[in-house]
Amino acid sequence: GQNIDQPTEMTATEGAIVQINCTYQTSGFNGLFWYQQHAGEAPTFLSYNVLDGLEEKGRFSSFLSRSKGYSYLLLKELQMKDSASYLCAVRDGTNAGKSTFGDGTTLTVKP
Amino acid sequence: NAGVTQTPKFQVLKTGQSMTLQCAQDMNHEYMSWYRQDPGMGLRLIHYSVGAGITDQGEVPNGYNVSRSTTEDFPLRLLSAAPSQTSVYFCASSRTGATEAFFGQGTRLTVV
């Protein structure tokens, strides 16, 4: 099975940088997703990492270390609209259609 | 450009009633999934499908059935509703297991 851990809540200041961590213990691994979810809305895709290293996409970057079972999402130049939950999801190594989500990290951006 | 469409958006059921949550996508995606999300928690996988005619169980399948007779549609059936099934249900689709999932707007279900 999969066990995924994320901090429950984080607070940061507008304009700052924040790093949201995700650790996982899995019976198989085939990639890691990050999604953003605003309150009362559906999740939307942010990034996908399958190889070790950093993927950069504008103000958002995601890092993966498969040997450590660790990923992080880095948000730069924080804006108020970045206040949301950030969900880490691990893709199963043997069942291609199966992804397991962590409980999410609620980020609050303050002025 | 509809994407993933879920109906209904809101539903109240009495304990023991059955119903079907509808999910349709117009992107010709092979992969579809149903999740439930309880307050303050992440998404838990109920059932998923990697193509028409193929379905499999996720983490929390008990009390739910699915079928996938076409690529476009992936309905979720609640057999006998229980208060523990009060939740927000999301349907998602993706082209493959390694590409981004697109989510419907969710169905907010209350079982009384």
- Read off the pLDDT of residues B51-107 as tens digits, 9 standing for 90 and up: 999 999 999 999 999 999 999 999 999 999 999 999 999 999 999 888 899 999 999
Min distance B93 CA to chain A CA atoms (Å): 10
Q: pLDDT band at residue B41, thresholds of 50, 70 and 90?
A: confident
Residue A26 has a pLDDT of 81
Cα separation of A86 and B42, whole Å? 9
Asked whether the predicted pLDDT for residue A96 surpasses 90, the reply is no
Chain A residue closest in CA terms to B39: A103
Model confidence band, residue A30 (pLDDT cutoffs 50, 70, 90): confident
Q: What is the mean pLDDT of chain A?
A: 94
Contact B103 A42 (CB under 8 A): yes
What whole-number distance in Å separates Cα of residue A17 and Cα of residue B108? Answer: 34
Q: Write the CA distances from B44 to A98, A99, B36, B37, B70, integer angstroms.
A: 11, 9, 5, 6, 24
More confident residue, A22 or A28: A22
Confidence tier at B28 by pLDDT (50, 70, 90): very high
Distances (CA, A) of B21 to A8, B13, B18, B99: 30, 12, 10, 25
**pLDDT tier at A92, thresholds 50, 70, 90:** confident
Which of A101, A105, A106 is the best mutation test for B, with the most CBs of B within 10 A? A101
Q: Which of B43, B60, B95, B107 to mutate to test the interface with A (most CBs of A within 10 A)?
A: B43
Q: Which residues contact residue A35 at a Cβ distance below 8 angstroms, ignoring those fewer than 6 apart? A: A43, A44, A45, A46, A86, A87, A89, B101
Residue A19 has a pLDDT of 98
d(CA B97, CA B93): 9
Query: Which among B50, B45, B48, B70 has a CA at the least distance from the CA of B60?
Result: B45
